[in-house]
Amino acid sequence: MTSTTHLHGQSTLSELFTVVYVLVDDYLKASERAGHFKLPRAVNQKGSYAELMTIALVGELRSQTHVGDWFDFIKVEHSRLFPILPYRTRYYRVLKNLERIMADFALRFSHGDTFHVIDSQPLPIYQGNRWQRLRKMTEATSGHCPSGWFYGFRLHAVTD
C-alpha cells in the first residue's frame, strides 16, 4: 500500500490528522537533527510547527479552498486535537515561512509514489479594480489569488 492510499483510506478526519501529524512531526525532527534547518522556539508559542503544517496539509488533502475558514473550522470543531492554536494572522505568517519546508516535505514524501506536486501562480494582465474592464485577449480568464481578483493566465508547475 502506498502512502497516498494510506492517507486517503482514513475513515475519520481525526484519524487523518493523526497519520499526517506523525509523518510531519517525524520529518521535522529528523530534518532538524540532520541540520537541514532550525525552527525557532518560543516559550509562549501557540501551536507547534508540526500542528500548523498538519492543519495546512490536511486542508490540501481535503481540497479546502479557503485557508482561513478551514483554520477557523479546525480551531472550533477539533479543539481537543489542537487545544492551543495561534490567531489566524499568525497562522498565515507561519505557513508563509514554512513554504520551503512544506515543499521539501511534499517532495520527500511523494518519492516513489504515483502522484505529483502541483503549484500555480497567477500571471495577471489586469489586477485590482481593472480586472473587470474590456478585454482584448480572449484566451485569458478571470481568477482569484491571495492578492485579489485578476484577469490573465495561471502558470502551473508540475514536478514528481
pLDDT in tens, 106-155: 877 765 555 555 566 777 776 666 656 655 656 677 776 666 777 777 77
Q: Which helix (H) or strand (E) holds 89?
A: helix 88-97
Ranges 35-39, 99-103, 146-150: which has the least confidence: 146-150
Distance, in Å, from the CA atom of 8 to the CA atom of 28, rounded to the nearest integer, reads 22
pLDDT: which is higher, 128 or 59: 59
Whether the predicted pLDDT of 41 surpasses 70: yes
Whether the predicted pLDDT of 9 surpasses 60: no
